[in-house]
Amino acid sequence: MTEPKPELLDAGRRAKAAAALLAPLPRQTRDDALRAMADALGEQSEAILAANARDVQRAEGNGTDAGIVDRLTLTEDRIAAMAQGLRDVAALPDPLGVVVRGSTLPNGLELRQLTVPLGVLAMIYEARPNVTVDAAGLAVKSGNAVLLRGSSSARDSNAALVSVLSQAATKAGLPDDAIQLAPGESHDDVTALLRLRGLVDVAIPRGGAALIQRVVTDAQVPTIETGVGNCHVYVDAAADLDMAEAITINAKCHRPSVCNAAETLLVHADVADAFLPRILRALAAQGVSVHGDARTRSYDGTVQEATDVDWETEYLGLEIAVGVVDSLDDAVAHIRRWGSGHTEAIVTADLAASRAFVAGLDSAAVMINASTRFTDGGEFGFGAEIGISTQKLHARGPMGLPELTTTTYVVTGAGHVR
């Protein structure tokens, strides 16, 4: 068993103490802290970009994949977007103290179920410094302390961001240690963090399949599994083909390195002759490498043969698997077999087909005549998101503020005894 180092235990204890002080703070204090954090990002962007440049240079020197380097890279515009995200979260309704249900019982007791913070969040994620800001902002708004553990490839960026955010939050009235970078850089340190029972209330992994599986396997604290995004676009027999092309290109190419990008395109056989030649040309023009079944390859000899590995792969780059199906039921069966339960899209003018598609699937989000790229906390109006859950207990889909709360029952009597 991996024992936590003294510095990690100390960080966990300080986070627990901070959480107790943070939970009862009024909304105004938390919102003021978020706005102060946003201002600080802009004021100290030069130092943040300098730290990020060191991470990017190190990643490129190590031959890191271009898609991962893109996720790692910060710019003035991306920092400004992160700061605006904090301001947007500050403007959202307070997730705490919401009455989920309430009643007066027959014996006169007044019963209320209220939302309260989870406590201490452990956020484990890969080379995306924006997650540092999103997680810190959502934790503050929801009254939770947070231990942030990004990948070593972003260590300088994350250290700079946490320093800026935590100092601004403390000056604005939040308790010390509400936002911390979890100490340690090794895999054993991550495992130890996941075993801080009594100090960490929930662990949230955000990254690729290997990271998520490792967290779920190693954790001895509750976890919320943010899933792999093997997302599908299905072009139905009743699809508007111009719409289908636009949605497919957007879903695959808008930002291929993220979890809500499409990885598989399924085309109904009735429209294959009309649609496949044009979409294969459009994908090629975007630099997308296509892996196709035999019927897809019959339209373009440059298409590579798709294997079982292709159907289950989250490419996170300019690659896509393409197949022809004979019916909507076949499309649903393919997705249920190979999909990850993240996001699927149907393009169709047939209302019955769209309803059957939704009813037949078991995914966190289903799009009708819209790109998979819309599965996002910001696009859903939640402000920043802490991840997209593909599990079914507690949270599913983009996780915003409500998903970072639990509830407590408040029962008011007048001398009642049982």
| Tens digit of each residue's pLDDT (9 = 90 or more) over 394-406 | 888 888 899 999 9
With cut-offs at 50, 70 and 90, classify the pLDDT of residue 114.
very high
> Which H, E and C letters describe 222-275, residue by residue?
CECCECCCCEEEEECCCCCHHHHHHHHHHHHHCCCCCCCCEEEEEEEHHHHHHH
* Cα(204)–Cα(222) distance, integer angstroms: 9
Q: What is the pLDDT of residues 174-192, one digit of tens each?
A: 999 999 999 988 889 999 9
Q: What is the pLDDT of residues 78-91, one digit of tens each?
A: 999 999 989 999 99
b/e for 351-390, b at 16 or more Cβ within 10 A? eebbebbeebbebbbbbebbbbbbbbbbeeebbbbbbbbb
Handedness of CA 397, 371, 260, 390 (dihedral sign): positive
With cut-offs at 50, 70 and 90, classify the pLDDT of residue 213.
confident
List alpha helices for 294-368, DSSP H.
Answer: 294-297, 308-312, 328-338, 351-360
pLDDT higher at 409 or 228: 409
**What's the token pair of residue 263?**
């990885």
* Cα(288)–Cα(354) distance, integer angstroms: 28
Report pLDDT for 206.
Answer: 86
Q: What is the pLDDT of residues 295-346, one digit of tens each?
A: 999 999 999 999 999 999 999 899 999 999 999 999 999 999 999 999 999 9
Q: What is the pLDDT of residues 88-104, one digit of tens each?
A: 999 999 999 999 999 99
Mean per-residue pLDDT, 264-278: 98
| Fold of the CATH domain 6-226+399-412 | Aldehyde Dehydrogenase; Chain A, domain 1 (3.40.605)
| Fold of the CATH domain 231-374 | Aldehyde Dehydrogenase; Chain A, domain 2 (3.40.309)
Instruction: Tell me the residue length of the chain.
Output: 418
With cut-offs at 50, 70 and 90, classify the pLDDT of residue 66.
confident
Say what the alpha-carbon torsion angle 279, 280, 286, 289 is, to the nearest 10 degrees. 140
* pLDDT(2) > 70: no
Mean per-residue pLDDT, 105-115: 97
Mean per-residue pLDDT, 204-209: 84
Q: Which amino acid is at 323?
A: G
Q: How far is CA 226 from CA 124, 158, 196, 260, 342, in A?
A: 11, 20, 20, 12, 9
On the 0-12 / 13-18 / 19+ scale of CB atoms within 10 A, 198 is exposed
Q: Which residue intervals of the chain bear CATH 3.40.309.10? A: 231-374
Mean per-residue pLDDT, 46-72: 92
Q: Mean pLDDT score of the chain, rounded to an integer? A: 94
